[in-house]
Amino acid sequence: MPSPRRRRCNTVGLLIAGLSIAAIFHQSTNHVAPDTPGPAADGAPSASSRTWSLRGGGWVIRVDGAEVELPSLGQQTRPVMRPRGPQPLSPYDQLIAYHAEAEGLDWRLIAAVIFEESRFAADAVSDAGAVGLMQVRPIAAAAVGSRAFAAPNDNIRTGARYLRHLSEEFRESTGRDRLGLVLAAYNMGPSHVHDAQMLARRVGYEPNIWHESMALVLPLLQHAPLCERLPKGCARGRDTVAYVRRILQRYDEYRGRFGTRAADLDEGDEDGDADDPLPDPVQAASASG
């Protein structure tokens, strides 16, 4: 039978071992499980009176007042909630929709132009003096009577009006062909496009067709022996053709992702409408439905 002194030594050893495990527990939260919160001093449950248990080797050590917050199983397995439908393109979506509606244009076309021009950066400024979301130049603003065109609202309004103005200037074309000519004129100026149309007639191409005609003729504006004889001289025609192509591709992408109205950002374009995103020069028909 062990002596009282040996029993006291065993008890002290167990106590020291328990305190060592408790110290390790406070340094690491591995293998920790919460028990039912205990009552506070006044009888009400308290977050600081939560009891935690460490189980191992047949021992159960309980520690009160643990400061470690562990997520519940439900919190750990909860699925990530993602919003449904396409997300807004920019902080300016409502302005784009408003001014597109006012000019009878497809808002997705305006958005595609803005992406190409500035990537939705309202403070963008080009070396040629174009400013804002739609990179409006003073000569374009003057063409539609706009004096203020730097702030986002003014810039989108002026850019949309200028697109409408160009659509009337190229009213002999229709549909996708007119859209190509209008975008080319927005990029390089309508005078250069008219020069290219004149050159197209001379070489036997149709001046009111974009893809199979003007997209092939415009690069000739960089050919010195030809363009030097034109009224407005030479221009970067190849860059303009690439510019038009990128906008048309993005416009088609936006048509596939969004409904015809900016308010329909959670709906697809089921009927694939708005084949002509530009207004009729006599009576504008809104593309917003």
H/E stretch holding 32: strand 32-34
Instruction: Tell me phi and psi for residue 161, to 5 degrees.
Output: -65, -35
Name the pairing type of β-strands 32-34 and 51-56: antiparallel
Cα–Cα distance, 183 to 242 (Å, whole number): 11
**Amino acid letter at 93?**
D
Candidate list 101, 103, 116, 117, residue with the active-site label? 117
Report how far apart the first and last C-alpha atoms of the chain are (Å, whole number): 98
Q: How many CA atoms lie within 13 A of 223 on its CB side?
A: 9
- C-alpha 172/C-alpha 194 separation (Å) is 12
Number of C-beta neighbours around residue 245 at 10 A = 14
In whole angstroms, give the CA distance from residue 138 to residue 148: 10
117 is catalytic: yes
Distance CA 187, CA 173 (A): 18
Burial class of 232 by CB neighbour count within 10 A (0 to 12, 13 to 18, 19+): middle
Residue 162 phi, psi dihedral angles, 5° rounding: -70, -40
How is residue 84 annotated by DSSP?
A: -
Structure tokens at 287: 């593309």
Between CA 101 and CA 110 the distance in angstroms is: 11
- What residues are annotated to the active site? 117
